[in-house]
Amino acid sequence: MPEIRVWEPGWQDRRWTKGLKKLQHDQRDRLKQVLKELVESLASCKHPLLDPVMQRWGPTKWHAPGKQKQLGDWYEYRLGDRKNAARVIVCHDPTEQVIYLVARTAVHDLGRIERIVSSF
């Protein structure tokens, strides 16, 4: 099973909190719950893209910018909100069996996600 590590500068980005505030209370609670379930599944999966348990979040390869491509395999997960905008970006280092929680967005702020990932 992979080890899960949180990359604090990206994961604690204030835009996540600001994005959540734009949603209704029940939507915020649901996103938080689904995010928790995603992290639990990542911790127990055999592979963050290919494991059947991960298919719930519609994982896709994510194209990391520049030198970040060399740090591992990048994946994007959809959290299943009503507008299908909430996303999580992870970096999987298969040699060390580590999955880094790098970035998340409640409102699909792609520009912000790319800036966060570029500093990973």
Q: What domains sit in the chain, N to C, each tagged with a CATH number?
A: 3-118 (3.30.2310.20)
Instruction: Give tens-digit pLDDT for 65-95.
Output: 777 888 899 999 999 888 888 999 999 999 9
Mark out the alpha helices in the chain (DSSP H runs). Answer: 8-11, 14-21, 25-44, 110-118
Residue 103: strand pairing partners: 89
Name the residue among 65, 63, 64, 113 with its Cα closest to residue 85.
113
Among 1, 4, 9, residue whose Cα is nearest residue 112: 9
Is residue 70 classed as helix, strand or coil in its secondary structure?
helix
Mean pLDDT of all residues in the chain? 92
Model confidence pLDDT, tens digit, residues 33-58: 999 999 999 999 999 999 999 999 99
